[in-house]
Amino acid sequence: MRVIIAAAGTAGHINPGIAIANKIKQENPNAEIIFVGTTRGLENDLVPRAGYELKTINAYGFSKKISIENLKKLYKTCKGFGEAKKIIKEFKPDIVIGTGGYICGAMITSAHNLHVPTMLHESNSFPGKAVKMLAKKTDTILVSFKDAIPRIKKAKKVVHTGTPVKIRKQDYGINEKNRMLKELGLNEIKPIILVSGGSQGAQKINEAIIAIILNKLNKNYQVIWATGPKQFDGVKEILEKDGICMSHMEGIKILPYIYNMQEIMNIADVMIGRAGAMTVTEISNLGKPSILIPLPNVSHNHQLYNAKVLEDVDAAKIILNDELTGEKLSCTIEEIILNQSKMQKMGENALKVSTREAEKKIYQEIKLLVKKE
């Protein structure tokens, strides 16, 4: 099997593509797989690190506003269609799979025109422009959330598979959990709240947690907080101005980044963060209550739609970004943790929208398309 995977931009686009590639290689060790991206995105780091070859083409997003910059991007993107066609003709793939980014337009369109089977994976509950525009040209569209299905018009075939994620549910024993908590300087008595704004952190969320600490609102819970590497020093400086030393805080562990995220997510009682597709998928698969603060000003407000997947089954509380304060966040935390039966029910409800074995389901759809040829 020869496969091209088009993925560019963010980890949310690239990691599902890598997970799909790994599944293909697991089932078919002789499969030949290449990735196609741009020279600008995280694919330049993540794809070679995963052991796959990356080819690049020109692909840009542009607004409707007429400007010299936009015209340059349009010209380069048109050039990218020719580059995509050349890669496909040279590699001769059995299938072209797109997992997100501007790159998908050129790759899926070119594959369709060359009569190569095509597949798109949409991680968000509200599909992006690329998926909607390419729906007619794509043989199979895979979605992470069922809510996305009626939002994709004129598609040939839409299948709910879920999104491949690294984080898995794991039940640690009491002794193992207590050991991990002790290493973090925390105890097993009070609930654990995990706060993360993604790999880069989220300033608005960080400001709310700082307010909670400065106003000593966390008397009923403990916090594990990933600030994001670039914001860690700034947080440290703010706290030190108030006479607070990070390394001597009771009930709070502050880190720039969490490398053992699977362990930490499994021992946490409540999750707080943005509502990217990967985050929402991980939370649902783990069966954890959550407080979600969707990132504003993103395409079609898709993070709000992602968050609503959990809110609609009473598994999450949503706080809008411009309404977020330390006091409001702390009150919402306590609303959950001070009602044990409510906290347990929210976790159970999260599992209702979880999707197991996403990689297996996606591979089955790939085989169906390739067999047709």
What lies within 8 Å, CB to CB, of 49 at 6+ separation is none
What lies within 8 Å, CB to CB, of 262 at 6+ separation is 166, 167, 168, 170
Residue 127 located in a structural domain: yes
Round to whole Å and give the CA distance between 121 and 101. Answer: 11
Amino acid at 263: E
**118 and 242 belong to one structural domain:** no
Domain that holds residue 13: 2-163+356-372
**153 and 190 belong to one structural domain:** no
Residue 183 located in a structural domain: yes
DSSP labels, 120-159 = EEE-SSS--HHHHHHTTT-SEEEESSGGGGGGSTT-S-EE
Q: In what order do the strands lie in the sheet with 53-56?
A: 53-56, 32-37, 2-7, 95-100, 118-122, 140-143, 158-160
* The pair of three-digit structure tokens given for residue 28, joined into one six-digit string: 């078919």
Instruction: Identify any residues that bridge with 195 across adjacent strands, giving them in sequence order.
Output: 225, 272
> What are phi and psi for residue 55, nearest 5 degrees?
-110, 150
**232 and 284 belong to one structural domain:** yes
Residue 169 located in a structural domain: no
Residue 294 located in a structural domain: yes
CATH number at residue 27: 3.40.50.2000
**143 and 224 belong to one structural domain:** no
* The pair of three-digit structure tokens given for residue 171, joined into one six-digit string: 């039940």
pLDDT at 10: 81
**178 and 58 belong to one structural domain:** no
**206 and 120 belong to one structural domain:** no
**112 and 210 belong to one structural domain:** no
Please count the structural domains in the chain: 2
Count CA within 13 A, CB hemisphere, residue 215.
14
pLDDT at 96: 97
Round to whole Å and give the CA distance between 300 and 197. Answer: 20
**194 and 83 belong to one structural domain:** no
**337 and 207 belong to one structural domain:** yes
**Is 309 in contact with 123 (CB distance < 8 Å)?**
no
**249 and 220 belong to one structural domain:** yes
> Residue-wise pLDDT tens for the chain (373 aa)?
999 999 988 888 898 999 999 999 999 999 999 999 998 888 999 999 999 999 999 776 655 666 676 666 665 666 778 999 999 999 999 999 999 878 899 999 999 999 999 999 999 998 887 888 899 999 999 999 999 999 998 899 999 999 988 888 888 889 999 999 999 999 999 999 999 987 677 899 999 999 999 999 999 999 999 999 889 999 999 999 999 998 889 999 999 999 899 999 999 999 999 999 989 999 999 999 999 999 987 767 889 999 999 999 999 999 999 999 999 999 999 999 999 999 999 999 999 999 889 999 999 999 999 986 5
H or E element that contains 164: none
H-type alpha helices, the chain? 11-27, 43-49, 68-91, 103-113, 129-134, 174-183, 203-214, 232-241, 261-267, 277-286, 302-311, 326-337, 340-352, 358-372
pLDDT at 162: 93
pLDDT at 297: 78
Locus of tokens 């993360």: 196
Residue 81 located in a structural domain: yes
Q: What is the pTM of this model?
A: 0.84
Residue 168 located in a structural domain: no
pLDDT at 275: 94
**25 and 55 belong to one structural domain:** yes
**243 and 347 belong to one structural domain:** yes
Locus of tokens 């079609």: 300
